[in-house]
Amino acid sequence: MALDKNGIAKRIAQELRDGYYVNLGIGIPTLVANYVPPGMQIILQSENGLLGIGPFPAKNEIDPDLINAGKQTITALPGAAFFDSSMSFAMIRGGHIDLTVLGAFEVSETGDIASWKIPGKLVKGMGGAMDLVASARNIIVAMMHTNPQGESKLLKKCTLPLTGVGVVKKIVSDLAVLDVTPQGFKLLERAPGVSVEDILNATEGNLIIEGDIPEMLI
Amino acid sequence: MNKVVQNAIEAIRGIESQMTLMLGGFGLCGIPENCIAALAATDITGLTCISNNAGIDGFGLGMLLRRHQIEKMISSYVGENKEFERQLLSRELEVELIPQGTLAERIRAGGAGIPAFYVPAGYGTEVAEGKPVRQFGDKMYLEEQWLKADFSIVKAWKGDTNGNLIYRYVANNFNHAMAMAGKITIAEVEELVPVGALEPNHIHTPGVFVQRIFQGQNYEKRIEFATTRD
């Protein structure tokens, strides 16, 4: 069975390592924070100026000066740090953030990503996505393998305006875990009950299948 | 030295139609509410506003949009605002979208006297159109240029009469860099204190960048998405 959003987040959480500084995008990536393995310390960055994001506040703790990049109210953990936007993106651009997790409309077999603009629809802007994808040392894309019409979102070439070129390293979709390699999408794991053929049918870009492909351990 | 002005009306004196303004804030967090309200009470039009976002309908920069005082927005993300969308689709409003980190650094560079620099963000995308590119090591970078403003309007938590500023939590965001990049920088603060009352080790923005300061009043500090765990 294909994974739901929480399943994707759970699988991505297995990529975390103790001491990682991590930036989580809006949507599925945000859910990854719910599955940090017990005993592991992960420091979450919010690009509007916080290292050390805590849980959402209790009702009586809400503070308008304490929001995340999605403009939701949050808390800051003990040991947190606040800073201005140019400092925040110095952390990102300077390669000091260990892992970025973000969503995408499309990814190409060469690691291009389209995530900010759909022609004909209203454009809201790229926010920090272009800065994040261009600079993070490691980028995992959390996405659905196909769109609601069943068309592949893992393509030979992106059709939508790009957010970054050749930047995606790994994809965790509802069907599979894949690395982006110079030869194309390398299939690493299948979602429980999903066959290699299912994944092949849902992938337009070049899919590399070597040996037995194990099921994810969720 | 007298940087202290009595209120927002006095603070925005000299701002004229067709000028370029920088306005601090991320969403509605850390926006200069008093000065925006004062601008919305004037007939100033044709403004170019550099601000990460464009407020919401009827609040923040939405107040200036509603009165058609803004000709161009330079921002990274402009959702959450119906009047903005309407003016954009009807071409009453021009928008330049810039990656958020590049926007912050262009502003910082404007204040720091650095006319151009290279960043990887946007390489190979439509953001790169018309910009020089250069390879450093095995990676491609875009040349980006500084941004400056006729007036920068920022909001801080505490300030002293010398213009030294301290921000609260993530209400700093774009305020610090913008304070550096204005020909004239106006700071509105929740608490204005005498010289000596702020601990010098705790200053975020040194007073040299600030020309006018006043104690604001009646801060609404609206929340866009109140999210709780209970």
Hey, where are the domains in chain A? 5-208
Rounded mean pLDDT, B204-215: 98
- Residues 83-122 in A contacting B (C-alpha not used; CB under 8 Å): 83-86, 88-90, 92-93, 112, 122
Interchain pair A165, B120: CB under 8 A: no
For residues B11-35, average pLDDT: 98
The whole-angstrom separation of Cα B69 and Cα B67 is 5
First to last CA, chain B: 51
Predicted local distance difference test score (pLDDT) of residue A129? 96
What the block records as the tokens of B90 is 């009807």
Whether A106 and A157 have beta carbons less than 8 Å apart is answered as no
Instruction: Give the residue from chain B lying closest to A60, CA to CA.
Output: B228
Report all structural domains of chain B as residue ranges with CATH numbers, in order of start.
8-116+146-215 (3.40.1080.10)
What is the reported pLDDT for A9?
97
One DSSP character per residue, B14-34 reads T--TT-EEEE--BTTBT--HH
Give tens-digit pLDDT for B161-199.
999 999 999 999 999 999 999 999 999 999 999 999 999
Q: What's the pLDDT at B101?
A: 98
Residues of A in contact with B104 (CB under 8 A): 84-86, 88-89
Q: How far apart are CA B100 and CA B22, in angstroms?
A: 14
For B228, the closest of A56, A71, A89 (CB atoms) is: A56
User: Which residues are CB-contacts of A208 (< 8 A; sequence separation ≥ 6)?
Assistant: A181, A183, A184, A185, A186, A187
Specify the pLDDT at position B228: 94
- ipTM for this model: 0.96
What does the pLDDT read at residue A114? Answer: 97
Measured in degrees and rounded to the nearest 5, phi and psi for residue A45 equal -100, 140
Work out the pLDDT band at B102, boundaries 50, 70, 90.
very high
Q: Residue B217: what pLDDT?
A: 98
pLDDT of B63 strictly over 90:
yes
Q: pLDDT at residue B79 above 80?
A: no
Contact of B133 with A173, CB cutoff 8 Å: no
Q: CA torsion, points B76, B185, B148, B96, in degrees to nearest 10? A: 30
Q: Using 50, 70 and 90 to split pLDDT, how confident is the model at B113?
A: very high
pLDDT of amino acid B85: 86
Q: Does domain A5-208 have CATH number 3.40.1080.10?
A: yes
Round to whole Å and give the CA distance between B16 and A120.
36
Residue entry with tokens 């500023």: B165
Q: What percent of chain A has pLDDT over 90?
A: 94
pLDDT digits (tens, 9 = 90+) for A121-179: 878 899 999 999 999 889 999 999 999 999 999 999 999 999 999 999 999 999 999 99
Question: Is A109 noted as a catalytic residue in this protein?
Answer: no
Q: Model pTM? A: 0.96
Mean pLDDT of chain A: 96
**Strand spans (E) along B167-215:** 182-193, 212-215
Q: Which residues does chain B have within 8 Å of residue A71's beta carbon, measured at their own beta carbons?
A: 26-29, 80, 224-225
Helix (H) or strand (E) run with residue A155 in it: strand A154-155
Q: Do B28 and A71 touch (CB under 8 A)?
A: yes
Interface contact flag, B76 A65, Cβ < 8 Å: no
- Give the per-residue pLDDT at A123: 82
CB-CB contact of B176 with B144 (8 Å):
no
Is residue B80 scored above 90 in pLDDT?
no
Token couple for B143: 């040349």
Calculate the CA dihedral of residues A169, A172, A176, A182 and round it to 10 degrees. -10
Residues of chain B with pLDDT > 90, as a percent, come to 93
So what's the pLDDT on residue B129?
97
Neighbours of B227 (CB within 10 A): 16
